[in-house]
Structure 1
């Protein structure tokens, strides 16, 4: 081990000694077994996990590059763990103090970091490139782990034994019924995905749907799916940036697309939504959100998800959403927390992905891709389990909207192993729905 690696190892060990949300056992390359951390007090679930270190280069990656180094080191095989979800859950519990510390440095580094972000802002051209980097990875990938609806967003599990397909359909039903869709409605969808919502809304509720995406692969898939379903007279699929849309619609739906907008364009996004709705219109937004503190900190940094999975993405906070909505004539009429349903959704995606891996190898995906995607899915599952991030459905309405929204979902978690709130107190400056930060 080099002097640089020894120094990095000492620094990382010092941080691990401060872990309080569970116990991490490290088995080093020479077989030495070290334990770090303490269990969180009840009622938090006791967590314990072992990590095998395969190279001392891991310490340098973690010490210098933090979350990005964590992901890159796993992708490169510098460490392994049989239970990635538990490992990230322990890390998530320990991050809160780090978030507060990072926030204190924002006055020093924030302006420079934000200037850097503006140079990399989601312009129309850059948005297309960034969306393609993730969503154009190939239908053979996404079709192997998503269900038949091809919905790449949280489902809603109405029964503990519900399938992934049933959860996706339940989510689509919830959206359509919340907006009281019917044959007389013309719906605009911002963020087509693979066409799951448009097909469901037009096929089951008889409404017209205009849906837009900037992913060429998703556009081609959705056009073919609409044609195959015989719904070309009711569904129009556009290959167009949301900022270039025209016309007015009765209802608007956007399902986990806002994360790709970028913090610097939130005002523009909601202004467009407001302009595209008729005076009595309403929209349903499904969004992954972070706490106010996380939003402030992550705007000035690049984490694992940004670096390897969703370039240019930003999780908004509820305060940021409310601020931008407040600059329009839209008003919030309903907010529902569906976080408990995302961990089981991600668990099933990860199981499907790993089960399909032998087939994916035949399509050219390599071992480094498998490792980073397995970590990505586990990372997000752990985030929702610990409520580091949350998923919400927000109904926004124009001034003349008068319809009555649905009653809330039952409070019970979807299964015995589904995500539940932890005992950690919320941030002192954040009494809204959201929990702690997502690194």
Structure 2
């Protein structure tokens, strides 16, 4: 698939996207960024293409991925001023593109440490923006951050998710077709494996932390479980309740707006699918002690979490990134080591099983990106402009590249509380 458009997008709305509409100044910094980029980008195997004319839409096998600089002056100015945040904002502004953005971003991810000359690497942290206090996931902050992303529009998510409305990695088999039908089957398989890991069946008292749009709660209730599902997204709560009612399961499923810190009760099983990434490191002790408090002795907890290598997590924990600014405020992807440390420090939970399937997330994201691209006109009809569309395309491609490069992974992690 290609996202390359030979015609630059329309003007950026300065009221809606002030930092994207404004190109930062600073001749000296821009000149330094231009020199560093001219050295580093080809050195990692990416071909630079500069000017208004588009490069070939299809690359020959084995050909280097292409970074097409439509506006090199603006690109280098943003890179100089805001680093990787500027890199993403430059894409949002239409100043660069690529015939295959995932291949290009994957190459960057694979050679991340080589992009800055070794003599300058010890000083890199001095130029990176730090997280603002507003990025903390206090109760008010967590509600605001979840609303920022998940309350955009249920209709928007419905344009690119499959019929299950599941917004987390699917679990494929070789027999699954890589289309919307195969994605739905793979999402159902993922949910069923989480429920199996948590031993959810007839009569199970189940707590779900992070409702999504209700697929897991519905499938658990069909097994005969009594489900309490909590979320901070009003949009997700409303649609999840509608789906539960349509299945005739309202007597088995309760969906409420509730922070995990305020959840009460004792449950046989707790399931949380790709919610921990939004908790934030400062609040990991609260999250894991809540899991320990809410599951009965001998009960099980099944998490699905994006993960990263521990050293990389430690190096990036304080950074403020394009993803924080535009997509997921307040989040941090944990390492499995960090999860083990949290469990040992304050809970009676111990890991009993793990399954990693990062390549499946790359495929999930590719299918979402294909569907989102095909739905461009309908995205526009919902009131989302071209800058938003490019932001979302970059987000999906950026994440896919992370999984394809192996810099991030996804795991299902099963835990049991000592009896």
TM-score where L is the length of structure 1: 0.82
How do residues 256-271 of structure 1 correspond to structure 2 at under 5 angstroms? 256-271=274-289
Alpha-carbon spacing, 1:16–1:295, altered in 2? closer, same or farther (3 Å): farther
Hey, what does 1:412 align to over in structure 2?
none
Alpha-carbon spacing, 1:367–1:166, altered in 2? closer, same or farther (3 Å): same
Matched position secondary structure for 1:364: coil
Confirm or deny that 1:351 pairs with 2:373: no
Q: Aligned equivalents of 1:106 and 1:271: distance in 2?
A: 35
Q: Aligned equivalents of 1:257 and 1:3: distance in 2?
A: 39
2:217 to 198, 203, 224: 198
Confirm or deny that 1:182 pairs with 2:182: no
Confirm or deny that 1:57 pairs with 2:49: no
Hey, what does 2:328 align to over in structure 1?
310
Hey, what does 2:306 align to over in structure 1?
288
How do residues 268-283 of structure 1 correspond to structure 2 at under 5 angstroms? 268-283=286-301
Q: Aligned equivalents of 2:95 and 2:42: distance in 1?
A: 25
Confirm or deny that 1:90 pairs with 2:90: no
Alpha-carbon spacing, 1:102–1:322, altered in 2? closer, same or farther (3 Å): farther
RMSD: 2.6
Shift of 1:23: 2.4
Hey, what does 2:147 align to over in structure 1?
132
1:24 to 21, 25, 46: 46
Shift of 1:101: 8.4
How do residues 4-43 of structure 1 correspond to structure 2 at under 5 angstroms? 4-5=26-27, 8-19=30-41, 22-29=44-51
Q: Aligned equivalents of 2:139 and 2:407: distance in 1?
A: 30
1:218-265 CA distances to partner (integer Å, 9 max, x unpaired)? 111111111111101110101100000011000010000001100100
Q: Is the 8 A contact 2:52 2:70 kept in 1?
A: no
How do residues 42-191 of structure 1 correspond to structure 2 at under 5 angstroms? 48-55=64-71, 56-97=73-114, 104=122, 113=130, 120-162=135-177, 163-191=182-210
Shift of 1:180: 2.4
Q: Aligned equivalents of 2:70 and 2:42: distance in 1?
A: 25
Q: Is the 8 A contact 2:44 2:114 kept in 1?
A: no
Shift of 1:31: 7.1
Shift of 1:296: 1.6
Alpha-carbon spacing, 1:101–1:280, altered in 2? closer, same or farther (3 Å): farther
| Structure 2 spans left out of the alignment, 5+ residues | 1-23, 56-60
Q: Aligned equivalents of 1:103 and 1:256: distance in 2?
A: 32
Alpha-carbon spacing, 1:298–1:206, altered in 2? closer, same or farther (3 Å): same
Matched position secondary structure for 1:231: coil
TM-score where L is the length of structure 2: 0.85
Alpha-carbon spacing, 1:252–1:348, altered in 2? closer, same or farther (3 Å): same
Shift of 1:128: 0.5
1:147-182 CA distances to partner (integer Å, 9 max, x unpaired)? 111110000111254311011011111112222221
Q: Aligned equivalents of 1:355 and 1:54: distance in 2?
A: 23
1:167-206 CA distances to partner (integer Å, 9 max, x unpaired)? 1011111112222221121110000011110011112x11
1:272-322 CA distances to partner (integer Å, 9 max, x unpaired)? 000000001011110011122221222221112111110111111112111
Shift of 1:360: 1.6
| Structure 1 spans left out of the alignment, 5+ residues | 34-44, 401-439
Q: Aligned equivalents of 1:372 and 1:87: distance in 2?
A: 17
Shift of 1:20: 7.7
Alpha-carbon spacing, 1:157–1:245, altered in 2? closer, same or farther (3 Å): same
Q: Aligned equivalents of 1:253 and 1:16: distance in 2?
A: 48
Shift of 1:77: 1.1
Q: Aligned equivalents of 1:51 and 1:98: distance in 2?
A: 15
Q: Aligned equivalents of 1:284 and 1:386: distance in 2?
A: 26
Alpha-carbon spacing, 1:52–1:257, altered in 2? closer, same or farther (3 Å): same
Q: Is the 8 A contact 1:22 1:46 kept in 2?
A: no
Hey, what does 2:398 align to over in structure 1?
379
